[in-house]
Structure 1
Amino acid sequence: MRIFADRLAEHLSKSLQPVYLLFGNEPLLLQESKEAIRHTAMAQGFEERHRFGVDTSFDWNSLYDCCQAMSLFSARQLIEVELPETLTAAMTKELVALADMLHQDITLVVIGTKLTKAQENSKWYKALMVNGCHVNCLSPDQQRLPQFVQTRCRQLGLQADAQAVQMLAQWHEGNLLALVQSLEKLLLLYPDKQLNLVRLEESLSRHNHFTPFHWSDALLAGKAKRAQRILRQLEAEGVEITILARTIQKELILLTQLQSQARHTPLAQLFERHRIWQSKRPIYSAALNRLSVTRLHQCLQTLAQLEIVSKTQYEESAWPLLHQLSTEICMPQVQFTKA
């Protein structure tokens, strides 16, 4: 079973699974999911809670002792296991063994960062998922974020019109903790619980947080305005231009390889070969439809010029070239002309 974190409360109201796998990159969703499971488990008699943080020196026997503490008088246990970002072969072997030790008096919660496709196909993951529920705690993407905002408003009794929802999503992208704080503030400011653009502009400021990967995803998708908006914010925040150049260089080289290989190999097969996430394939397809090999080489030339300026012309800013490159990557092919 797989669910998004914002559906966990609904799920828990119906049943409590023996195993929960909380994986993602959003601290707020991870914390709220843990708390929701704890509350439900306690209500169902899981009075004893144990927390373990796994690292290379972790004593797995201490965890196994909890699982094997079976008697008429022992309490039902909630066991939380936090995994490191990188799992060793020894750790995965112990996780398989852990799955075999679970019983009806244990609810196991495993917490970790975003999983790769290979990890989701691994033996330890499949062993835990036999009686488990995977709770997706990834930050909502641009498409899901408005729905997430609407759900949060509804939970608080706030009635936000469509424009208010879009503004809340745009102003808090990548920063869900700030979104929760903003909604709580609005709840206090407006007892009638009605939200519109005017009230938001009077009461809030932007709290969105972007990474270089938000920018590269916007470029791949051809969303020129969004890419420029993200780039301006990254520039204002003092992000090193070298980091952005390396990020997009990697994407341009990958697109060049895909474009060349697509002449002889189906695109789906290439995506598998280059380990491109299923969720990212639509934006790579959009980029490949828009960017020919010739155009990709031209973009790489602009990138090379940017690198020369940033490393040799210390009195000249390279940011205008990065904005130019951003525009070139997003342009429909018929509108593109080389300077």
Structure 2
Amino acid sequence: MRIFADNLAEQLNKQLHPIYLLLGNEPLLIEESRSAIYQSAHMEGFTEKQRFSLEKNAHWEDIYNSVQAMSLFSSKKIIELELPSSGVNNSITKELAALFPLLHPDIILVVIGSKITKAQENAKWFKQLSATACRVNCLTPDITRLPQFIRARCKLRNLTPDDEALQMLSQWYEGNLLALNQSLEKLTLLYPDGELNLVRLEKALSRSNHYTIYHWCDALLAGKMKRSQRILRQLKAEGIEPVIITRALQKELTQLFAMATNLKLHNLHQIFEQHRIWQSKRPLYTAALGRLSTTKIQHLLQLLCKIEITTKTQYEQSSWPLLQQLGIEACMPQVKF
């Protein structure tokens, strides 16, 4: 089964799974999920914990011994395997495939890693794991899920934000859940009545959002002009080099152009499958393809080329106004006559 990290507590109250797969890039969600699993498992008699990193030179013999060590006096245990940040290679997949059949009811296996690719999902070890595992999404919530995520967090602390406060919290803490968690704790102490509005937030908190280049690219695909300009201003303030931004956007626009060209021959589902577009990204590309013609995308690529040339050759001229222009044009709907 698949659940979001914020639904894990509810799931643990119903059932304790033999395997948990914590996947994502958000440290707060991974740590909270790990703690929730340990707490529930401890109540069921799983009092021993062992952690193993599967980075290079992992001691697989120790892992196998830990799984197979059983006696009348041994306690139930939780075994945690941390996948390498570089991904799962063939050597690790072979070991994992051999390990899973050895698991027994006195062991709960917790596997922690970053985002899994489609190819990895089809691998033997992952299919074996998924058959009995609870897969917990620990990815940082995107802007569409963030307000719902924050509202649920507030509810746990008896905080009641109005709609404007919720929107402000979403803007201020996007991409920085650790800061959000700390701020909600602070608000709980400052306002015992739990009522949150713009005046109280501005008085108590400071902006702590963290945007990446990919947030900007996603905003352009979605056609969200105000959001894209806000992200671009913060990227500039953080000293992100324009050439890094243009490289990321070049990949998106090039792929978008290829997809738009194929629209006459294939439907959207076929195009998404052909280009291996993640389900979470498909609404963004759908919006962009419905808004931008191949001619407009070509124009954006030409403007992007101009920005890159300016960045690399015209050192006395700033590229940021051109990036701002590109962002505006990419978000504007196509004018039809």
> Does the pair score TM above 0.5?
yes
* Alignment partners' CA distance in 1, 2:253 and 2:180: 34
Q: 1:335 to 1:325 in 2, by over 3 A?
A: farther
What's the CA shift for 1:90? 1.3
Q: CA deviation at 1:168?
A: 1.0
Which secondary structure state, in structure 2, belongs to the residue aligned with residue 334 of structure 1?
A: coil
Partner of 1:33: 33
- Partner in structure 2 of residue 113 of structure 1: 114
Structure 1 residue identity aligned to 2:210: H
Q: Deviations over 1:198-255 (max 9, x none)?
A: 1001111111100000000000011111101100100110011111000111111111
> Do residues 167 (structure 1) and 183 (structure 2) align?
no
Q: Secondary structure at the match of 1:333?
A: coil
AA partner of residue 73 (structure 1): F
Aligned to 1:52: 52
Mapping of residues 47-86 of structure 1, within 5 Å: 47-85=47-85, 86=87
Shift in Å, 1:129: 1.7
Alignment partner of 1:49: what SS? strand
CA positional deviation for 1:265: 2.3
Distance in structure 2 (CA, Å) of the matches to 1:70 and 1:331: 65
Mapped partners of 1:144, 1:303: distance in 2 = 30
2-side partners of 1:180 and 1:75: how far apart? 35
Any idea what the Cα deviations from partners look like across 1:88-117, whole Å, max 9, x if unmatched?
A: 111111111111111000000000001112
Alignment of 1:142-221 (within 5 A): 142-221=143-222
What SS is found at the alignment partner of 1:3? strand
Matched residues in 1 for 2:34 and 2:160: separation? 28
Per the alignment, residue 141 of structure 1 pairs with: 142
Give the counterpart letter for 1:22 in structure 2. Answer: L
C-alpha separation between the residues in 2 aligned to 1:266 and 1:90? 39
- Cα deviation for residue 162 of structure 1 reads 1.9
* TM-aligned CA deviation for residue 335 of structure 1: 7.8
| Other-structure match for 2:274 | 273
Paired position in structure 2 for 1:325: 326
Tell me how far apart the structure 2 counterparts of residues 63 and 287 of structure 1 sit (CA, whole Å): 48
Q: Which one-letter code corresponds to 1:202 in the other structure?
A: K
Superimposed CA distance per residue, residues 246-302 of structure 1 (whole angstroms, 9 cap, x where no aligned partner):
011111111111111222222211211211101111111111111111111111111
Please give the root-mean-square deviation of Cα atoms over the aligned residues, in Å: 1.2
Q: Which amino acid aligns with 1:66?
A: S
Spell out, residue by residue over 1:169-221, the C-alpha distance to the aligned partner (whole angstroms, 9 max, x if none).
Answer: 11100000000010111111112221111100111111110000000000001
Secondary structure at the counterpart of residue 13 of structure 1? helix
The one-letter code matched in structure 2 to 1:316 is Q
Q: Secondary structure at the match of 2:335?
A: helix
Letter in 1 for 2:304: L
Distance in 2, Cα, partners of 1:325 & 1:159: 39
State, as a whole percentage, how many aligned pairs show the same letter: 59
Q: Which stretch of the first structure deviates more once superposed, 104-113 or 292-301?
A: 292-301
Task: Give, in angstroms, the shift of residue 79 of structure 1.
Answer: 0.4
What does residue 227 of structure 1 align with? Answer: 228
TM (normalized to structure 1)? 0.97
Stretches of 4+ moved more than 4 A in 1? none
Q: Which runs of 5 or more structure 2 residues have no equivalent in the other structure?
A: none
Residues in 2 aligned to 1:115 and 1:276: alpha-carbon distance in whole angstroms:
14
Structure 1 counterpart of 2:265:
264
- Give the residue type in structure 2 aligned to 1:3: I
Report what 2:123 is aligned to.
122
TM-superposed CA distance for 1:319, in Å, is: 0.5
Residues in 1 aligned to 2:8 and 2:265: alpha-carbon distance in whole angstroms: 45
Uncovered stretches (5+) of structure 1, i.e. residues with no partner:
none
| Further displaced range: 106-115 or 154-163 | 154-163
